[in-house]
Amino acid sequence: MLEIEDVHSHYGLSHVIQGISLSVRPGEVMGVFGRNGVGKTTLLKTVAGWLAPSSGAIRLNGCEIGGQEPDAINRAGVAFVPEDRRIFPGLSVQENLELGMLGLRGAKPRDPLGPVLERFPRLAERARQSATTLSGGEQQMLAMARIMVADPDVVLIDEPSEGLAPMIVAEIFAIIRQMRDDGKAVLLVEQNIHEAVSVCDRFVAIERGRIVLDGDPEDAEDRNSLIGQLSV
């Protein structure tokens, strides 16, 4: 369980996150929506440790992780798939996946890549190829597969559908559903709300670094408020 409590964070004098509280349970996808520049990515970066919160608490399964180094947060069980996907083009698909083993906690399983390759047949077929031969959608899959190697409790995903064709976007969202079914707590930032809202169990809308709407995707009124919020 991820708990974010009254978190503030800033870049220099720019106070971007201004008191956000939310929690994400295992097996739940929480959507984070809002117009450009409201602080969605900054929230994910703060949870991932790329940016230290200036105040507030971030807890994973009851333990405070706020302000720790990104590697420590990753090893504690929080994985981040940033918007630029961070694929290493000089490496093969398999080598890119092996980098996910850096986030492993405890003893190394004998075949950490096995279960992941089974789940991502497109990547398994091309394990020895250079990551540059993958399409944008496959690179997004590789970034998501890589973090799954370490079997994290919490997955932070920033704009996974950005720049991708609709067919592959459906596959990317299917992977997110699979993560949820595997019991991950997923915090998902997405511009493509019409697609994303269908994957979410709950959502929040952010405006100027604060939550202005906390909604249920099944509720038509909440969905309409969200669309209204984003079109203001």
**Contacts to ligand ADP by CB under 6 A:** 11, 14, 16, 34, 36-42
Q: What is the closest distance, in whole angstroms, from the C-beta atom of residue 191 to ligand ADP in the complex? A: 9
Q: What is the closest distance, in whole angstroms, from the C-beta atom of residue 165 to ligand ADP in the complex? A: 22
**Under 8 Å CB-to-CB from 25, ≥6 apart: which residues?**
1, 185
Residue 18 — φ and ψ, nearest 5°?
A: -125, 60
* Cβ nearer to ligand ADP, comparing 40 with 184: 40
CA distances from 112 to 117, 126, 188 (A): 9, 17, 25
* Cβ nearer to ligand ADP, comparing 42 with 68: 42
Residue 82 — φ and ψ, nearest 5°?
A: -70, 170
Q: What is the closest distance, in whole angstroms, from the C-beta atom of residue 44 to ligand ADP in the complex? A: 8
* Cβ nearer to ligand ADP, comparing 40 with 180: 40
What single DSSP character describes residue 36?
A: T
Sole residue written with tokens 């405890």: 106
Q: What is the closest distance, in whole angstroms, from the C-beta atom of residue 137 to ligand ADP in the complex? A: 21
* Cβ nearer to ligand ADP, comparing 117 with 189: 189
44 close to 112: Cβ distance less than 8 angstroms: no
Q: What is the closest distance, in whole angstroms, from the C-beta atom of residue 41 to ligand ADP in the complex? A: 3
To 5 degrees, how large is the angle CA 183–CA 140–CA 41?
A: 75
